[in-house]
Chains A and B, each alone.
Chain A
C-alpha cells in the first residue's frame, strides 16, 4: 500500500513539493511568532533581572526602564542630585548607582556610572581590580569591539544622531565586563563625573532642574577630584539611578518613598509585565494572521486533494474492482495526504525555528539583548495540533473516496 502511495507521489512530485512548501511556510509563520515572542519576553526579562529598582525624574515609567535598563537613546528629564546622595546614604540601600547618558562613540552608548555598579555587573578577566579608579578610565561591555588601551573621544549625542566631538575628555579602555546578555554588553562605562564634566557647560540651557550654575560647577569640580560616593552636598542632576536595596522589604519601602511629585521609582520587571500585556495584543494579531495563513493553506491543499482525487477516480474505482477493501482506499488517500502534510509541518517547524533564530541574532546584534530561541514541548504540541487538524481535514477526501461506488467510478 505504501508503495502505491509513494508511486503516486513520485508521479506528482512537483505538485507534492509545492504543497509541502505551502504547508511548511504556513506552519513556519505560526511557529516563528510563538518562538520569537517567547524569546523576546524571556530575553528582556533576563536583561531586567539585574536591575532591582530604578529611580528617575517623574515621567514615563516605560521610558525610564527602556532608557536605563535597555539603554534606548532618549533624553530623560534630570533628577535632582540630592536624590542620589540621599539614596546612597540610605541604610536600606546596598548601592545606588547613577547612570548618565548623552554621549556615544562609534555607535556605542557611553554610560557614566560608578565603580560599584561596574563591579556588580561583573568584570571579565584582565580588567583592573579597581575599575573606573580615575577620570580617564573606561570599561567596555563584552560586545564592544575596542581593545584595552584604545582611546575614546566621546561624541556628544546619542547613537545614531548628529554628533559633535567633545574635546575635554579622553577615556582609555582599561578592561572589559563579563558578558551579561543585556544591552549593557554594548555600552562603554565611564565615571559619572566624566559625563557631568563634559556636559556642565553645553547642557545648561536644556537643564530645567533649576540648579544654581555656580553650585553645579563647584560640585562637578569637587566630584572630579575624588570619584564615586560618598557624594558632596551639591551634585549635578542625573537621568536615572539604579538602586540595589538590601532586602525585598526595603525595595518596596523605597519604591513607595520615591514615588513623589518629582521622582519616580519602578521595578523594571513590573513595568515589563505591563508592557507585555500591551504587546500581547500585537502577538494576538500576529497569531491570528498566522492562523489565517494556515487556514488558507489548508483550503488550498483540500482543493488540490479533491482535484487530484477526481483525476484518480477511475484508478480508485479499479482498485476496488480488483478487490481492495474500502478501508484500504480510505487509507491510501489519507496516508498520501498525511505524508505530504506531515512533511510540510515538519519542514515548517524547522523553518520556523531557523527563521526565529536568524531574526533573534539580528535583533541581538542591534539591541544587545540576548534572545533565547528555544524549541519547547509546547511548540511541538502546537505542531501536533496542526497535524491533528490537518489529519481531520485530510479525512474528507479520504471519506469521499471511501464512499465512491466503484461501478460508477469505472463508468465515468
Chain B
C-alpha cells in the first residue's frame, strides 16, 4: 500500500489562463479510500493523470510513499505505473478480440516476455472473485457490468499499491453500478490497496473513507478536509 502526498502541484495548459489543477497540499493515507468529486471541468481527470504519472505537473511534487514521480522520466513513470497502479476506467478499455482472461493478463504481457509463474492462476482466481467465468469467448460479447468487473480483475492482477478508478460506475445501470461499487471497495480493502475514485455516484462515495471536492482545479472542501 502507498501513501500519497501532493506538494504545490500546479498543472497549466498552454491555452488556458487559469491552471487546470492547483493543489498546494493534499495527503492520502496508505490503505485509505478517497472519493474525488466535482462538476465537469473541475480538474478531476487532470488530478488522475497527475497522480498516476500519465501527465507531469507544471510545478510541484507528487510523492507516493516518499517517491516523487513528477521527477521520473516518461519511461520510468510507465514502469512505476505498471508496478504500482491498478486502473479502472469509465469505458473499461478492454480489448476486443481477446478473451476475459487475456484481457486481465494483457498489461502483464506488455511488461514480461514470459508471464511470471502463477500469474495466470491468479488471473483465473480474480475472475472467479469478480464473478466472471473465464471462458474463451471474446470480451465484446460481455455485458457492460461484466466488462467493468473484468476491468477490476485486471487492475488487481499485479497487486498494486494503489487502485485508481475514473467514474467506474458512470456508464453502468443502477444494479451493475452497485455491484461494481461493492466489489471495488471490498477488493481494495482486502488487498490493502489505497483507493482513489473519481465519481459522481453517491452510492459509491458514501462507501469511501473520505471525499475531496474539486472546483475550478482547486479544493472546494478545505474546511471539510481539515475536519476529517
- Closest-by-CB residue of A relative to B110 is A324
A8 cross-chain contacts in B, Cβ below 8 A: 97
B83 cross-chain contacts in A, Cβ below 8 A: 323
Interface string of A390-412 (1 = CB under 8 A from B): 00000000000000011100110
A156-164, A194-202, A314-322: which one contacts chain B?
A: A314-322
Q: Is B45's CB under 8 angstroms from A321's CB?
A: no
Q: Is A321's CB under 8 angstroms from B79's CB?
A: no
Q: How far is the CA of A405 from the CA of B13 in the complex (A)?
A: 14
Q: Is A7's CB under 8 angstroms from B97's CB?
A: yes
Q: Is B98's CB under 8 angstroms from A7's CB?
A: yes
Is A11 part of the binding interface, using a Cβ–Cβ cutoff of 8 Å? Answer: yes
B85 cross-chain contacts in A, Cβ below 8 A: 323
Q: How far is the CA of A4 from the CA of B109 in the complex (A)?
A: 10
Interface hits, B69-90 → A, CB 8 Å: 74-75, 78-79, 81-83, 85, 87, 89
Interface string of B94-114 (1 = CB under 8 A from A): 011110001000110111000
Is A328 part of the binding interface, using a Cβ–Cβ cutoff of 8 Å? Answer: yes
Interface hits, A1-44 → B, CB 8 Å: 1, 3-4, 7-8, 10-11
Q: Is A1's CB under 8 angstroms from B110's CB?
A: yes
Q: Shortest distance in angstroms between A401's beta carbon and chain B's nearest beta carbon?
A: 14
Is A50 part of the binding interface, using a Cβ–Cβ cutoff of 8 Å? Answer: no
Q: With A319-B110, A328-B110 in contact, is A7–B96 under 8 Å at CB?
A: yes
Is B49 part of the binding interface, using a Cβ–Cβ cutoff of 8 Å? Answer: yes
- Closest-by-CB residue of A relative to B139 is A7
Q: How far is the CA of A408 from the CA of B79 in the complex (A)?
A: 19
A410 cross-chain contacts in B, Cβ below 8 A: 54, 89
A325 cross-chain contacts in B, Cβ below 8 A: 75, 78-79, 82, 110-111
Interface string of B29-56 (1 = CB under 8 A from A): 0000000000000000100010010110
B residues near A, CB below 8 A? 45, 49, 52, 54-55, 74-75, 78-79, 81-83, 85, 87, 89, 93, 95-98, 102, 106-107, 109-111, 154
Could you list 24 examples of A-B contacts with CB < 8 Å? A4-B95, A4-B98, A4-B106, A4-B109, A7-B97, A7-B98, A315-B93, A320-B78, A321-B89, A322-B87, A322-B93, A323-B79, A323-B83, A323-B111, A324-B78, A324-B82, A324-B107, A324-B110, A325-B75, A325-B78, A325-B111, A326-B74, A326-B75, A411-B45
